[in-house]
Amino acid sequence: MDRMERVHAAVTGGLRGRPRDVTELNHALFLRLAAEVQGYCRDLHDESIAAMLTPTLVPNAALRETFRHVLEDNRKLGSGNAGPGNIGNDWIRLGMQLWAELYSAYPSPTVGGRDWNKRLEWLNSARNGIAHNDTVKVAAAHDDHPLTLNTFRVMRGRLTKFATALDAVTGAYLKTTTGTAPW
């Protein structure tokens, strides 16, 4: 994403007020951000499964593999966006009420669980509008938060905090559940 920001600066000359039309480049930034969030969540879910299915906790290798398939098959993050509902549904497979944990651990309405939930909803709505060339969805997303480099930077910063929090609450849950720090 840093490289995409550098390309953006090269195209605009780093000038405000957009000397060139960069709408499509801005859209690409949001698509990439949505992809990064989804990839991160899916990777953390994979690592969580691995932490739960160690030879110590589940000695039988065939049983470990069976459990792994049950936890991975039809995972929402494998077929849908990384919206709050899909993320929460996938974490329920681990036995965790993710959003309740995030709201409890990060209660601030402006920089905590509820804010991340709203921002993920917005990002995926914007992503769907852009990816499916749905001008109504793109316009609605733009009305809520302009699809600009500044908005991208704000969203990226907030969702980076979400990723850190997601890692922390998931790690704490797994440590409590398995008795071992997962990472």
* pLDDT 10s digits, 57-115: 999 999 999 999 999 999 999 999 999 999 999 999 999 999 999 999 999 888 899 99
Reading the block at residue 81, the tokens are 């966006």
Residue 140: CB atoms within 10 A of its CB come to: 14
pTM here? Answer: 0.88
Query: Confidence band (pLDDT; 50, 70, 90) for 1?
Result: low
* Alpha-carbon distances of 112 from 89, 104, 142, 160, 181, rounded to whole Å: 19, 9, 23, 12, 24
Cα 146 from chain centroid (whole Å): 20
Contact status, residue 157 vs residue 31, Cβ threshold 8 Å: no
pLDDT tens, 127-156?
999 999 999 999 999 999 999 999 999 999
Closest of 34, 131, 23, 137 to residue 86, by C-alpha: 34
Phi, psi of 105 (to 5 degrees): -75, -30
Helix (H, G, I), strand (E, B) or coil at 124: helix
d(CA 9, CA 109): 33
